[in-house]
Amino acid sequence: MAKHERGLRFQPAGGVRATQIPTGKKQRLTIERLSNDGRGIAFLDGRTWFVAGSLAGEEVEARVLNAHGKVVEARTERVFQPSAMRRPAPCVHFGRCGGCSVQHLPHSEQLALKQRMLAEQLQRVASVEPQEWAAPLTGAEFAYRRRARVAVRWDAKAKRLDVGFRAAASQDIVSIEECPVLVQALQPIMMQLPAMLRSFSKPQVLGHVELFSGSSTAILLRHTAPLADADLATLQTFCKDHDAQLWLHGEGDPQPTDAAQALGYRLEPWKLDLAYRPGDFIQVNAAINTAMIEQALDWLAPKSDERVLDLFCGLGNFALPLARLAREVVAVEGVATMVERASANAISNDLHNVAFFQADLSQPLAQANWAAEGFSAVLLDPPRDGAFEVVRKLKALGAERLLYVSCNPATLARDTVELVKQGYRLKRAGILDMFPQTAHVEAMALFEASK
């Protein structure tokens, strides 16, 4: 065996490795265009820069957050030549807080950006364009978010409790005492929460806080050890002052301090009340959620004699309104506890033509017993990774109409390729502005079987 030679240094083909740009370095850049996530794109010395807080045509000073190979991530520190589209950021924490990354764009331009993102993905990946583009589904720009997770961390060295939201591209916590996108019911809670938590005798045991607003207001506190009696009393008084339920999350699942308390939200057009618990998925924008369901039912147009399939059904957000219109609804979800919750919601709303099942939705469904009879229409609302395996076999279920609600245009476009292969055509599509002030795109697409 050859003796190992110490001290040798090998270089990749092509010469000396390029020197990496250090974090924190400032660089003057000219922004050429916007990326799909709303960041400005600049090119310098063979590298591509993605600059948060910048707009096309601007000359800015950017601070490096991270650099890897020929890609540099940065944030805007100064704007030398602002775009005519730039508006003053409505939130004082813009540029430091990791949320609401495009609030320097007028709302109309935010919508245009999201529309382009959806259209580009469908064209580039699936080579399709809908027969009809629907107008964006929009609501209020601010005061829309009915749920929020607040980061809490004890800094032992500084003997300080940090309370706020995560910083952009960092695990740092930006101290927040106001957040314009929270619904009004949560604004005073958010404003007074940091001072209340900092008054605890044992702040070291605090994890995070979640805020909820629906049929009730609620505060959930995650704690890693039992709370001191005085601290619990402080928390209970705070909740009472804000007319909020208190939920504690230590070992096991979150529990309300009053067992009779429950969380929920109402879908007024259908006279439905849906119960949920912390940890369950709900849409954070109540107004757009209701409008989204109305549009989905309008596009899918279920008839009173039809059997409809709802995939990734969650708590029954679509399934229960569908049950008001269709002969029968079969709703399927991968998480067993959500199936239980959805079934209970159907019973509490006196709906008996909807059945909920648990199934692995990363696998084809044609062999399931509940699929044997087939369906006239299908609605699916998958998570960000889409529904690739499910859509590959959807044609076998016999559905003539398919409505796809997406929170990721990339996976919607990928799944569209499979649907087109099965003979479906993209009849209508449009964006849903579920998260104003962010570049996050939700979309709705209607497919019909080719005749």
Question: What pLDDT sits at residue 31?
Answer: 97
329 and 224 part of one domain: no
Assigned domain for 259 exists? yes
Query: Would you say 342 and 356 are in contact if contact means Cβ atoms under 8 Å apart?
Result: yes
pLDDT of 264-304, one tens digit each? 999 999 999 999 999 999 999 999 999 999 999 999 999 99
34 and 61 part of one domain: yes
Which is it for strands 173-175 and 160-166: parallel, antiparallel or unpaired? antiparallel
Assigned domain for 277 exists? no
User: Which residue out of 91, 239, 313, 407 is catalytically annotated?
Assistant: 407
Question: What pLDDT sits at residue 424?
Answer: 97
Strand, helix or coil at 113? helix
Residues with Cβ within 8 Å of residue 6, at least 6 apart in sequence: none
Q: For residue 430, count other CB atoms closer than 10 A to its CB.
A: 19
- Judge whether residue 187 has pLDDT over 70: yes
442 and 357 part of one domain: yes
242 and 307 part of one domain: no
* Amino acid letter for position 246: L
pTM value > 0.95? no
* Alpha-carbon Rg for the chain in angstroms: 25
Assigned domain for 30 exists? yes
CATH number at residue 65: 2.40.50.140
Mean pLDDT value across the chain: 93
pLDDT band with cut points at 50, 70 and 90 for residue 18: low
Assigned domain for 329 exists? yes
Strand, helix or coil at 123? helix
311 and 415 part of one domain: yes
Could you tell me how far CA 443 lies from the centroid of its own chain?
A: 12
- Judge whether residue 434 has pLDDT over 60: yes
Please choose, from the candidates 17, 21, 89, 15, the residue with its C-alpha nearest in 3D space to the C-alpha of residue 52. 89
67 and 118 part of one domain: no
290 and 246 part of one domain: no
Question: What pLDDT sits at residue 395?
Answer: 87
CATH number at residue 152: 2.40.50.1070
pLDDT of 347-375, one tens digit each? 999 999 999 999 988 877 767 888 888 89
Domain C-terminal end among 263, 294, 311: 263
194 and 121 part of one domain: no
Please choose, from the candidates 363, 329, 361, the residue with its C-alpha nearest in 3D space to the C-alpha of residue 345. 329
Assigned domain for 271 exists? no
Domain count, the chain: 3
321 and 191 part of one domain: no
Assigned domain for 384 exists? yes
Q: Concatenate the DSSP letters of all residues of 175-209 into one string.
A: E-S--TTB-GGGHHHHHHHHHHHHT-S-GGGEEEE
Range of the domain at 44: 26-86
Assigned domain for 103 exists? no
Strand, helix or coil at 29? strand
The answer to whether residue 91 is catalytic is no
Question: What pLDDT sits at residue 11?
Answer: 44
Assigned domain for 280 exists? no
250 and 132 part of one domain: no
200 and 245 part of one domain: yes
Provide φ and ψ at 416, rounded to 5°: -60, -40
pLDDT of 199-236, one tens digit each? 999 999 999 999 999 999 999 999 999 999 999 999 99
Distance CA 233, CA 243 (A): 15
248 and 123 part of one domain: no
CATH number at residue 303: 3.40.50.150
Question: What pLDDT sits at residue 96?
Answer: 87
